[in-house]
């Protein structure tokens, strides 16, 4: 029997938003298998989806840059240790220069980017980063970037504050449409343009959960596949850009696909970065640390 730790229960609570005892029971019944426990809780409770994205804690900024001709651009995420430094003007300027450097030089990865001359600077990207670390007193890293170059379309970008950034490659329509679509992506966070870009494993998980929920609800076996297919189609509308309802739709019904069609436009690609997405920052228990220090001192 696998040991069920408090940390495991906490993680499952964050994933599902459900109570501690429910999570502990699910982990016991699944012998510590986190994924199986999450699926079990979703089947039994009707929990809609994982809340893992809410556990974003790493600090930093997302920045974007588009060349003057609108044909190339980049979005980057640069991380630091505290929100205080993330708001520093020099740090923000560094991130923007990194995005410009990526746009101009098209590096293949972070390592190749590090050796490039910094846009608007006198040294390399890595030399500039090290100098900023010395100045601000925190570790600073360039986590990731995406660059687009288009010959037939145009690019648009949108930054929601400094924590969410979107880079969009689209054809047809005007600049206002590009910005609207980019803003929609930042607000609705689609996984892909259409169903072809959704991970088949995610689709299969939704199908399996729908079948088990329907079965537990007493639905006839002959209806399970039809119910599951309906659930999958609803899921795809929620997670694909074209299937989502446009956040600014006046009638509350117009989808992005319908909006694009009305403008004679289409989306070729998009990239969205959220600061710290997928990174968990260590939570310091200062009270426990102080207590441990006092206890150690008293023994001495």
pLDDT, one tens digit per residue, over 178-230 is: 999 999 999 999 999 999 999 999 999 988 998 888 888 888 888 888 998 99
In the chain, what percentage of residues exceed pLDDT 70? 88
CATH architecture designation of domain 56-194+263-274: 2-Layer Sandwich (3.30)
Q: 1-55: which CATH number, 3.60.40.10, 1.10.8.10, 3.40.640.10, 3.30.70.3450?
A: 1.10.8.10
Rounded to the nearest integer, the mean pLDDT of the chain is: 87
In DSSP terms, which residues pair with 158 in a beta bridge? Answer: 166
pTM exceeding 0.75: no
In DSSP terms, which residues pair with 168 in a beta bridge? Answer: 156, 270
Q: How confident is the model at residue 49 (pLDDT cuts 50, 70, 90)?
A: very low
Domain-wise residue ranges, the chain: 1-55, 56-194+263-274
Q: What is the pLDDT of residue 57?
A: 38
Domains 1-55 and 56-194+263-274 belong to one CATH topology = no
Q: How confident is the model at residue 102 (pLDDT cuts 50, 70, 90)?
A: very high
Q: What is the pLDDT of residue 15?
A: 75
């Amino acid at each position: 029997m696998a040991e069920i730790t408090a940390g495991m229960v906490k993680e499952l609570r964050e994933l599902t938003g459900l109570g501690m005892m429910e999570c502990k029971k699910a982990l016991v019944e699944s012998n510590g298998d986190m994924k199986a426990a999450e699926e079990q809780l979703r089947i039994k409770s009707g929990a809609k989806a994982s809340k893992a994205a809410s556990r974003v804690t790493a600090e930093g900024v997302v920045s974007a840059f588009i060349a003057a001709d609108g044909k190339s651009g980049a979005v980057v995420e640069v991380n630091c240790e505290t929100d205080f430094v993330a708001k520093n003007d020099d740090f923000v300027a560094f991130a923007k220069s990194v995005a410009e450097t990526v746009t101009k030089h098209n590096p293949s990865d972070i390592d190749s980017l590090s050796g490039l001359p910094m846009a608007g600077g006198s040294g390399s990207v890595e030399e500039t980063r090290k100098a900023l670390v010395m100045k601000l007193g925190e570790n600073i890293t360039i986590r990731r970037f995406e660059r687009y170059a288009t010959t037939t379309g145009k690019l648009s970008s949108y930054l929601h504050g400094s924590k969410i950034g979107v880079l969009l490659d689209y054809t047809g329509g005007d600049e206002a449409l590009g910005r609207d679509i980019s803003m929609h992506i930042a607000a609705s966070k689609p996984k892909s343009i259409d169903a072809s870009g959704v991970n088949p494993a995610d689709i299969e998980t939704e199908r399996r959960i729908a079948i088990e929920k329907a079965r537990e609800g007493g639905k006839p076996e002959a209806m399970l596949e039809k119910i599951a297919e309906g659930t999958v189609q609803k899921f795809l509308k929620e997670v694909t850009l074209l299937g989502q309802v446009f956040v600014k739709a006046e009638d509350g019904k117009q989808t992005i696909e319908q909006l694009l069609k009305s403008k004679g436009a289409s989306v070729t690609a998009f990239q969205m970065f959220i600061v710290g997405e997928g990174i968990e920052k260590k939570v310091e228990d200062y009270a426990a640390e102080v207590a441990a220090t006092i206890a150690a001192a008293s023994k001495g």
